[in-house]
Amino acid sequence: MFCPFCRHPDSRVVDSRTSDDGTSIRRRRQCPNCGRRFSTTETASLAVIKRNGVLEPFSREKIISGVRKACQGRPVTDGDLAVLAQKVEEAVRASGASQIDANEVGLAILPPLRDLDEVAYLRFASVYQAFDSLDDFDEAIRQLRVEHRDRPAQTSGAVAE
Ligand SMILES: [Zn+2]
């Protein structure tokens, strides 16, 4: 990588540090030509293939803005959404693929959103999975009820621990 100051084609790594969430490495570099220092950030590339075939970089912000609408009026905080976006990123990166369908990103949102807030989950799933009748809602709610029966201790909605 070129030195951003003098365009020298080589640089020396003087320090490497992994980010707190473990998804990137920040390197301090020094140019052997002009002696100035600069930083680079290294991340495993992850691109989302949109329905129209266009690639765009995976973005937690996009996940959050996509889910925020479904959470309107629900007891969901910005912090909850940040955690959800992190879980989604971990889930899609776990496959090891460098490109992933937008569809799979949507699927990866459903489980953590269901854990966070069931009403928001139903709203998001209804749009995402294109529910077109009351039967679809019935089926989704029936599945949630079955899980409640299996996990009776858990209350619905987002409850602070
Ligand atoms: Zn330089």
24 token code pair: 């990137």
Ligand 1 center from residue 43 Cα (angstroms):
24
Q: Where are the alpha helices (DSSP H) in 22-160?
A: 60-68, 78-93, 102-116, 118-128, 134-150
Ligand 1 center from residue 36 Cα (angstroms):
6
Question: Over 80: is that where the pLDDT of 107 sits?
Answer: yes
For residue 86, what pLDDT band results from cuts at 50, 70 and 90? very high
Q: What is the pTM of this model?
A: 0.66
pLDDT of 81: 96
Ligand 1 center from residue 30 Cα (angstroms):
8
- Residues with a beta carbon under 5 angstroms from ion ligand 1: 3, 5-6, 8, 31, 33-34
Ligand 1 center from residue 39 Cα (angstroms):
13
Ligand 1 center from residue 45 Cα (angstroms):
27
Average confidence score pLDDT of the chain: 87
Q: Which residue has the higher pLDDT, 123 or 20?
A: 123
Other CB atoms within 10 A of residue 125 CB: 20
Ligand 1 center from residue 96 Cα (angstroms):
35
Ligand 1 center from residue 37 Cα (angstroms):
8
Distance CA 92, CA 100 (A): 8
Question: Over 90: is that where the pLDDT of 75 sits?
Answer: yes
